Structure 1
Amino acid sequence: MRLGYHSITWGGVTGDATGVTSVKDLVYKVPGSMHRALRDIAAAGYEGVEMFDGNVADFADNPGELRSLLAETGLSLVSVYTGANFIYSEILPDELYRVRRAAELAATFGAEQLVVGGGARRAAGTREADYDRLAEALDTVTGIAEEHGLSACYHPHLTTIVESPEEVEKIFTRSRIGFCPDTAHLAAGGGDPAALIRRHPDRIRHVHLKDLRRDPFTFLPLGEGEIDFADVLAAVREVGYDRWLIVELDSYDGDPAEAARISKTFLDKALS
């Protein structure tokens, strides 16, 4: 297995404000410097990077800049992360427009995976039909990814309609999309990350690793929280997954480069 890191830590999750009034333009973005992020990730010893769709889009008009940065750092762009509501029929075409754009950019820069989150929770409460709508949209996303030579995987996420193990089960009985388990989000949703990996062995396309402390709630570098990574890594091996492990830490109080080094040291020991 190869180790990568998400650029999210260099500024956290933000979005393009134009998306408030123009759904087709709503992307995830990290406000920090991608040049610094990729250089720090490489210096920590990782081989790959995952980026948000909005940050990759920043290089669309000058693709040579990102290619040069990847060559300089020796990193592979492993995956691009995007997301959408997916349950509202009126805006779905514009959301799929964004997903297609993300897939085009991912393919342009040699990525393997299109990672997708989403499934909005309605103010009036979730309807059972929302899972059918989400699943149908995710199948369309899978097709878009395949058209661009990519594999698509779904990332269950807090604040969406797929948080708990029961909700994970609902979506994977309805959609053919792959599974990107995120250890901290699955644990925070009440699940056992290792058990969910074992539950869906043929679905695993990509893996996100981060640690978790429940009280007070915070995401942490690997080895600094409550998650049993020995069991998680054992489960990953048992299901035959042998591709990328991506550390994806939303934020860090100190230097993000320090957080990357902490997790790399932990993984090197855990995998040895």
Structure 2
Amino acid sequence: MTAWKMAYHANCWGALGGDAVGVTSIGRLAYRTFGDMDRAAREIAAAGYEGIEFFDGNVLDAEAEDFASLRRLLDETGLALVAVYSGGNFIFADILEEELARIERAADAARALGAEHLVVGGGATRLSGVRAGDHDALAAALEKVVGLAERRGLKAQYHPHLSTIVERPEEIARVFAKTSIGFCPDTAHLAAAGGDPAALVAEHAGRISYVHLKGWQREPFAFVPVGQGDCDNGAVIRALRTIGYEGWVCNELDAWPDPAAGARESLAFVKAEVGKG
């Protein structure tokens, strides 16, 4: 199917959370799926995917053993680790060094396991709202992420996300004007923030070397399999074909009663849309 390789994020096989120790130790705060990652990988492979993405916390769990358990899991399933997802506040100067040190650990893990991409989200929204300079601080921090990724042979990607200071198209453009980081569009988050994901793919085509496809429904708000809901992922797929995109496409679904069924449904949708030519 074109020159795309299909991956799936392991976050659907458990509750999304973070490390509680991060409340008092910024350098140890990571994303985490509280679930069985062995089961996730095996079901993702059985659904027909070639690759997988993990949160940084789940990968760093295997750091002490030099990632032996993850290497074994990837070998047994035949999956490639495509990306590791991390993030940070990025706008608070006093803790930026700690945040970047943690992201460096995630990047080291990604390199050790043969991943191509380091994906980060973030840009904290203050309780008092956005202040002058916050977008500039975020962009400067993202440029540091670009550097640490490049030193490890990784491609750095920024993933705009609801609840951060980069949700809407104008915020995306504002930050991208000041950093060279790649753009990992998460179609559901872009649509939920009021953007047109297909138009954003076209606008920022030169930055895109990794993609997250996700479904989203407006009422009641929920993330759903890629072909369901109010996010026109068919239009996104057409836009990706128009710009000549080649590389990994990662389907994603934050939570679903039957994670394996959601993975299969999302893959079937993408294949059907690509098959339309």
Taking structure 2 as the reference length, the TM-score comes to 0.96
Q: Give runs of aligned pairs for residues 141-180 of structure 1, distance below 5 A.
A: 141-180=145-184
* 2:94 partner SS: coil
Corresponding position of 2:81: 77
Corresponding position of 2:114: 110
* 1:202 partner SS: helix
Alignment match of 1:206 (pick from 210, 233, 244): 210
* 1:12 partner SS: strand
Matched, 1:41 2:44: yes
Alignment match of 1:220 (pick from 209, 221, 224): 224
Corresponding position of 1:5: 8
Q: Give runs of aligned pairs for residues 1-272 of structure 1, distance below 5 A.
A: 1-62=4-65, 63-252=67-256, 254-272=257-275
Letter in 2 for 1:233: I
CA shift, 1:33, in A, is 0.7
| Aligned equivalents of 2:188, 2:121: Cα separation in 1 | 14
CA deviations 1:94-137 (Å, max 9, x no partner) are: 00001100100000000000000000001111013000000000
In the alignment, structure 1 segments of 5+ residues that lack a partner are none
CA deviations 1:197-234 (Å, max 9, x no partner) are: 00011110210001110111100001121222221011
CA shift, 1:11, in A, is 0.8
CA deviations 1:47-92 (Å, max 9, x no partner) are: 0000000000011122221111101101000000000000000000
Letter in 1 for 2:186: D
| Aligned equivalents of 2:47, 2:271: Cα separation in 1 | 11
Decide whether the 8 Å contact of 2:9 with 2:54 is kept in 1: yes
Q: CA RMSD in A?
A: 0.8
CA shift, 1:12, in A, is 3.2
Letter in 2 for 1:266: F
| Aligned equivalents of 1:42, 1:128: Cα separation in 2 | 46
* 2:69 partner SS: helix
* 2:133 partner SS: helix
Moved over 4 A (4+): none
CA shift, 1:261, in A, is 1.1
Decide whether the 8 Å contact of 2:209 with 2:246 is kept in 1: no
CA shift, 1:148, in A, is 0.5
Letter in 1 for 2:139: A
- Single out whichever of 37-46 and 256-265 deviates more from structure 2: 256-265
Letter in 1 for 2:158: Y
Decide whether the 8 Å contact of 2:117 with 2:157 is kept in 1: yes
| Aligned equivalents of 2:267, 2:234: Cα separation in 1 | 15
Q: How many residues of Structure 1 are paired with residues of Structure 2 in the alignment?
A: 271
